[in-house]
Structure 1
Amino acid sequence: MSPLTRKSRGFAGERIIEVPKETVDKCLSMPLISSLFITRMGFYPKALYHYYQRPTGISQVILLYCTDGQGWIQLAKNRIMMQAGDVFAITPDTPHSYGADTDNPWTIHWFHFSGTDCHDVISAIMDDKSNLPQAVRVPYSDERIALFDRMFDTFLKGYSTSNLLFANLTIPFFLASFILPENFQKEIIGSGTATPTNRAILYMQNNLSSSITLDNIAQSVNLSTSFFSRKFRQDTGYAPIEYFNHLRIQKACQLLHFSDLRINEVAYQLGIDDPFYFSRLFKKQMGVSPAEYRKTEGIQRRV
């Protein structure tokens, strides 16, 4: 069996960038991008008869993002079905094959990545909680496609140091659209698309001057207190009230920085009647008291 088998007839509108070896070596020597950089990338629309087989894999990460149609990826005895909205990352040196569905061929944006962070990228994107490999579904985003086009067009201008830096420093933001799609996509508040956690955070932001409770927050998103608390911690890593207090202190920093309010007045603006409690809360989060924060920021105002 040959080390590589490829079959296609070419695809109208296809685009591909093949980064030269000497440029890849240059990327390895550039500290800002040596952890993750592109070695190949491309776009195959309606890729009828698209097929690759690599019995020994390759040394880079392969990222396949399907935006239309269907296809498949074969890893050992596991076949992963791909459809519009699916993304999958193949680990380096993994034997594999993949191809387009013959009746409804996929449209894919794809990358080959190299660098010291390749395995971390796979772990972050795939977030595999099952024993069997499976594609990850993400919402479509025009911004994600625009980022792809921006990187591609930058490479078309050549492999100058500035072009290599710009294209490859864009990768983390592009990958964030797969790792954290709920943060990446633009939510329309009130449209019903925002998650309960994001609606709860919006409620907190709108009530920073109030002394709200956990029950208040849970009721704002129509969830039981216990279920909401578990879900919120799972999504953010914080208990709801702890998160609310972080938002409060963030607002306090703005007030201390941009206003002439006394410390007790800042506390009152945040719905905290006890200035001593406010100072303790502030110092716990920021490492200094409100007065010390104002002083170290170079703002000498009445306290």
Structure 2
Amino acid sequence: MRKSRGFEGELIIEIPKVATSHCEQLPLIAQLFIARMGYYPKAMHHYYQRPNGISQAILLYCSDGQGWVETGGNVVQVRAGEIFVLPMDVPHSYGADAKNPWSIYWMHLGGSHCDAAAAAVMERGGEPARAVQVGFSEERNALFTHIARTLLKGYSASNLLQANLALPHYLSSFIAPEHFGSQKQSVRDASPTEKAILYMQENLSNSLTLDNIARSVNLSGSFFSRKFKKDTGYAPIEYFNYLRIQKACQLLHFGAMRVNEVASAIGIDDPFYFSRLFKQQMGIPPAHYRKNKGIYGQ
């Protein structure tokens, strides 16, 4: 017996068309908003098939048990602590495992950026056709509950704004789960990129090279550079320089050090190079930054 709903302890929130139309008229949330959402615990026999897809992205986060998603003839297993997000208009079917049915938090996302949101979550796992491991977080579940409770109060403009402005924060718990509650990792469990960033932060006063950083995570320079840029969007030294200028801003804003002393404190011996690097990133020279206490003042 297959079914799409009717699970003990379930939650389902159907957003009326008039409310989603209202979302499309509110500039702050028009590009990404919730069209439906819910929670199915131990969803035995749960099954959906949509031969033509739907005009919304579908988020499926498995918190217990397991299930599967089929797209384009490819069946993907989704296990506890994993997420799968279907883009809009993609034919699909999905369902709970027959022996160990999943518990899932789910959302249908509307707006012009719903596919961009789907891609942001799924690209963290590399191949789009694979479920992404995101683990478990009480903070994430609390965000879901907050959004649901807000929508259950009704669909006034303030409720729609409150719920949907929390949506990007909820999605970020999947994109960067290491920043959420129980997702905090030990250094031993961190990825090479995360370890490298920690190494950079601990060596802001030193002049690091690509080889220095790569050796700190036991990788070759070329492989590490490719992986780091894939994970962060930046080359390692570029990222390190951003961290150094961030530290320089703090020293200039709160301290009494001269500009050349600030440069030395972040491992740059040439004050002229420091000034060029600072202006390149911040748009103004360090002396101007200090005089005005930042670009926009205090």
Q: What is the aligned counterpart of 2:216 among 199, 216, 220? A: 220
The one-letter amino acid of 1:174's match is Y
The one-letter amino acid of 1:194's match is A
Whether 1:187 and 2:184 are equivalent positions in the alignment is yes
The one-letter amino acid of 2:251's match is L
Higher Rg of the two aligned structures: 1
Change (3 A) 1:187 1:86: closer
After alignment, is 283-292 or 215-224 more displaced? 215-224
After alignment, is 197-206 or 234-243 more displaced? 234-243
Q: Tell me the equivalent position of 1:36.
A: 32
| RMSD of equivalent CA atoms | 2.6
Change (3 A) 1:298 1:80: closer
Q: Tell me the equivalent position of 1:291.
A: 287
Question: What is the count of residue pairs matched by the alignment?
Answer: 293
CA deviations on 1:190-225 (whole Å, 9 max, x unpaired) are: 3x1122222222222122222333333233223333
Q: Tell me the equivalent position of 2:266.
A: 270
Change (3 A) 1:157 1:293: same
Whether 1:173 and 2:182 are equivalent positions in the alignment is no
Q: What is the aligned counterpart of 2:21 among 19, 25, 38? A: 25
Deviation at 1:230, TM superposition (A): 2.8
What is the distance in 1 between the residues matched to 2:228 and 2:51?
Answer: 44
CA deviations on 1:249-278 (whole Å, 9 max, x unpaired) are: 111111111122211221222233332222
CA deviations on 1:112-145 (whole Å, 9 max, x unpaired) are: 1111112222222233865x83333322222222
What SS class does the counterpart of residue 234 from structure 1 fall into? Answer: helix
What is the distance in 1 between the residues matched to 2:164 and 2:58?
Answer: 16
What SS class does the counterpart of residue 55 from structure 2 fall into? Answer: coil
Structure 2 length as normaliser, TM-score? 0.87
What is the distance in 2 between the residues matched to 1:276 and 1:152?
Answer: 54
After alignment, is 250-259 or 79-88 more displaced? 79-88
Q: 5+ unaligned residues in a row in structure 2: which ranges?
A: none
Q: 5+ unaligned residues in a row in structure 1: which ranges?
A: none
Q: What is the aligned counterpart of 2:238 among 236, 242, 256? A: 242
Change (3 A) 1:163 1:229: same
The one-letter amino acid of 1:286's match is M
State the identity as a percent.
62
What is the distance in 2 between the residues matched to 1:206 and 1:13?
Answer: 48
The one-letter amino acid of 2:63's match is T
Aligned partners of 1:176 and 1:184 also within 8 Å: no
Aligned partners of 1:6 and 1:53 also within 8 Å: no
What SS class does the counterpart of residue 7 from structure 1 fall into? Answer: coil
Aligned partners of 1:71 and 1:106 also within 8 Å: yes
